[in-house]
C-alpha cells in the first residue's frame, strides 16, 4: 500500500524516488569538490548516482513490471533532444585535434551532463505519484538546508565544516577554498563549488521550503522545521553576496506572489520587508553591500570582464556556429570567463545546443504550469506554480553565471525539471482514474 499524502505512511519498495533522494543527498551533503580517488576521471558521488539512475532507467524501460512510466512527455522529449545535441557536439569537437587539457575538460563535461540527463529522465518516468514527488522534494529541501547551515557557519564564524566531511575513498580536486571574500564580508560556498553556485542553489530551495511550510499549516502538521528551513535558506542566499541569487529570488517572487491567496499574498510581501529589516540588523552592512552589487554594476570589474567576454565569444561563434567548439573546451584559465551560460553554450555547443537548452527550460516550466491547470487539488496546484518559480531561478541565473559549469546548481536544476515532468504525469494519471462524472 502506498503512503497517503499528508497522512499516515506505510512502507514502500525502493523506486525511482529512492534513487532521486540518494542523488539529492549526495549532491548537497558531500562537498562538491570531493571526487573518487585513483580514477582517471574526476567523478563525484552525485555523478555516480546519476549514472546509476540512467542504467536503472534504461533497464526499466525494457520491462513492464516495475511501474516506470513510458510514452512521450514534453520534459522527456526535451531531455532526449538536449542529450542528442550534446552527443553531436562531443563528436564534432573530438573528431579533430584538441589540446590535452581541453580534451579532458570536454570528456568530464560530457559525462557530467549525461549523468544529469539520466537523473532528469529517471525522475520524470520513475517517480510515480504525488506522494513520492513530495518525498523527493522534501529531501531536497533538507539537503539544501544542511548546505545553508554550512554556509552560514562559514560566513558568521569562518568555520568550515567541509573539512570534516572528507569521506574515505574521496579526495579533494585541487586546493580549493570554500570561503572567499567580497566587500569585507566572507563569501561562503557551503558544500558547493563557489559562492555564486551556493547562493543560486539556496535560492532554488526557498520556494519549496515556503510551499511545505504553508502546506503544513493548512493540514495542521509540524510547521517549525519548514519555517526554520525557509529562514536558513533565505539568509544563506543573501550571505552568498551573489547578484544571481538575489535576482533569482526576485523573479521567483514575481512568479509566486501573484498566484497566492489574497491574505497570504499580503503577508508574504510584509514578511519580505521584515526579513530585509531583520537581516540589516543582524548583519550590519550586508543589505547595503547587496544593494551596491546592482547600483555599482557599471563600475564593477566583473561587468567589464563580461563585456570583454562577449567580444571573445563572437570570434569563436563565427568559427563554430552550429555545434560549437565542444562543451567544456572554453577553459576560463585559458580563454577568460564568460559568466553567461547562454553565451557559453552558444560558443561551446552552437545554435543547436543553445536551442536545446532553452527548450529544456521551457518544457519543464510548461509541465509545471500544465499540471497546475489540470489539477483540482489546491496543494497540487500550489506545487505546480512552486516548481515553475524554482525553475525560473536557474533559467534567469544562467544569464549571469556559468550554470552548467557547476555540478550542484546544474544537478539541482535537472532534478527539478524531472520533478516537473513527474508532476504532470501524476496529475494526468490521477485524472484518468477518476470517474467520468467527476471530471465533468
Give residue 2's pLDDT. 42
- Which pLDDT belongs to residue 222? 82
**Amino acid 406: pLDDT:** 95
Rounded average pLDDT over 72-83: 96
Q: Could you give the C-alpha distances from 353 to 119, 315, 341, 409, in angstroms and in order?
A: 19, 18, 11, 19
Helix (H, G, I), strand (E, B) or coil at 62: coil
Q: Give the single-character DSSP code of 402.
A: -
Q: Using one digit for the tens of pLDDT, what is the confidence trace for 53-71? A: 999 999 999 998 888 988 8
What is the length of the chain? 440
What local confidence, expressed as pLDDT, does residue 218 receive? 76
DSSP 144-173: HHHHHHHHHHHHHH---GGGG---TTEEES
Residues in contact with 207: Cβ distance below 8 Å, sequence separation at least 6, in sequence order: 252, 256, 386, 389, 390
Render pLDDT for 134-145 as a digit per residue (tens, 0 to 9).
999 999 999 999
Q: What does pLDDT average to over the chain?
A: 89
Name the residue with higher pLDDT: 40 or 108.
Answer: 108
- % of residues, the chain, pLDDT over 90: 65
Task: Identify the band that residue 436 occupies on the pLDDT scale cut at 50, 70 and 90.
Answer: low
- Give the CA distances from residue 52 to residues 56, 118, 124, in Å, rounded to whole numbers and listed in that order: 6, 8, 15
Q: Which residues pair with residue 181 across a beta bridge?
A: 186
Instruction: Measure the CA–CA gap between 203 and 251, rounded to whole angstroms.
Output: 11
**Digit-coded pLDDT (tens) for 100-116:** 999 999 999 999 999 99
- Is residue 271 exposed (0-12), middle (13-18) or buried (19+ Cβ within 10 Å)? middle
Q: What are phi and psi of 339, to 5 degrees?
A: 55, 35
How confident is the model at residue 315, as a pLDDT? 80
Picking from 333, 330, 328, the residue whose alpha carbon sits closest to that of residue 313 is: 330
* Confidence (pLDDT) at 438: 46
Q: How far lies 110's CA from each of 123, 295, 336, 345, 402, in Å?
A: 20, 38, 21, 13, 15
Report the C-alpha gap between 302 and 293 in whole angstroms: 10
Q: What pLDDT shows up at residue 175?
A: 62
In degrees rounded to 5, what are phi and psi of residue 171?
-140, 155
Q: Could you give the CA distance from residue 315 to residue 344 in angstroms, rounded to a whole number?
A: 13
Secondary structure letter of residue 414 according to DSSP: H
The confidence band for 10, taking pLDDT boundaries of 50, 70 and 90, is low
pLDDT at 219 over 90: no
Cβ atoms within 10 Å, residue 383: 28
Average pLDDT in the 189-212 region? 95
Amino acid at each position: 500500500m502506498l503512503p497517503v499524502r499528508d497522512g499516515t505512511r506505510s512502507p514502500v519498495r525502493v523506486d525511482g524516488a529512492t534513487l532521486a533522494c540518494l542523488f539529492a543527498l549526495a549532491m548537497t551533503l558531500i562537498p562538491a569538490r570531493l571526487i573518487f580517488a585513483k580514477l582517471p576521471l574526476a567523478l563525484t558521488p552525485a555523478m555516480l548516482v546519476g549514472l546509476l539512475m540512467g542504467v536503472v532507467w534504461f533497464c526499466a524501460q525494457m520491462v513492464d513490471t516495475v511501474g516506470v512510466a513510458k510514452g512521450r512527455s514534453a520534459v522527456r522529449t526535451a531531455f532526449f533532444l538536449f542529450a542528442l545535441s550534446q552527443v553531436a557536439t562531443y563528436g564534432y569537437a573530438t573528431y579533430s585535434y584538441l589540446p590535452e587539457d581541453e580534451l579532458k575538460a570536454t570528456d568530464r563535461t560530457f559525462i557530467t551532463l549525461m549523468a544529469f540527463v539520466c537523473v532528469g529522465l529517471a525522475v520524470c518516468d520513475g517517480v510515480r505519484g504525488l506522494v513520492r514527488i513530495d518525498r523527493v522534494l522534501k529531501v531536497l529541501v533538507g539537503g539544501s538546508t544542511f548546505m545553508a547551515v554550512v554556509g552560514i557557519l562559514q560566513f558568521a564564524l569562518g568555520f568550515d565544516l567541509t573539512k570534516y566531511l572528507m569521506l574515505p575513498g574521496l579526495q579533494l580536486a585541487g586546493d580549493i577554498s570554500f570561503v572567499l571574500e567580497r566587500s569585507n564580508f566572507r563569501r561562503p560556498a557551503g558544500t558547493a563549488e563557489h559562492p555564486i553556485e551556493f547562493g543560486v542553489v539556496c535560492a532554488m530551495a526557498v520556494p519549496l521550503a515556503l510551499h511545505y511550510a504553508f502546506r503544513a499549516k493548512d493540514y495542521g502538521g509540524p510547521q517549525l522545521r519548514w519555517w526554520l528551513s525557509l529562514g536558513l535558506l533565505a539568509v544563506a542566499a543573501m550571505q552568498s553576496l551573489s547578484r544571481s541569487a538575489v535576482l533569482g529570488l526576485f523573479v521567483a517572487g514575481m512568479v509566486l506572489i501573484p498566484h497566492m491567496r489574497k491574505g497570504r499574498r499580503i503577508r508574504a510581501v510584509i514578511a519580505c520587508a521584515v526579513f530585509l529589516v531583520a537581516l540589516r540588523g543582524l548583519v550590519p552592512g550586508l543589505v547595503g553591500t547587496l544593494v551596491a552589487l546592482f547600483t555599482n554594476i557599471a563600475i564593477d570589474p566583473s561587468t567589464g570582464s563580461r563585456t570583454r567576454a562577449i567580444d571573445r565569444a563572437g570570434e569563436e561563434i563565427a568559427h563554430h556556429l552550429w555545434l560549437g567548439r565542444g562543451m567544456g573546451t572554453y577553459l576560463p584559465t585559458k580563454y577568460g570567463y564568460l559568466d553567461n551560460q547562454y553565451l557559453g553554450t552558444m560558443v561551446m555547443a552552437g545554435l543547436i545546443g543553445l536551442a536545446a537548452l532553452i527548450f529544456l527550460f521551457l518544457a519543464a516550466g510548461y509541465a509545471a504550469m500544465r499540471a497546475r491547470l489540470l489539477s483540482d487539488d489546491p496543494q497540487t496546484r500550489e506545487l505546480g506554480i512552486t516548481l515553475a518559480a524554482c525553475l525560473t531561478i536557474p533559467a534567469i541565473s544562467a544569464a549571469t553565471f556559468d550554470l552548467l559549469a557547476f555540478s550542484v546548481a546544474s544537478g539541482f536544476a535537472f532534478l527539478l525539471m524531472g520533478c516537473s515532468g513527474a508532476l504532470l504525469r501524476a496529475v494526468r494519471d490521477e485524472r484518468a482514474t477518476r470517474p467520468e462524472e467527476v471530471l465533468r
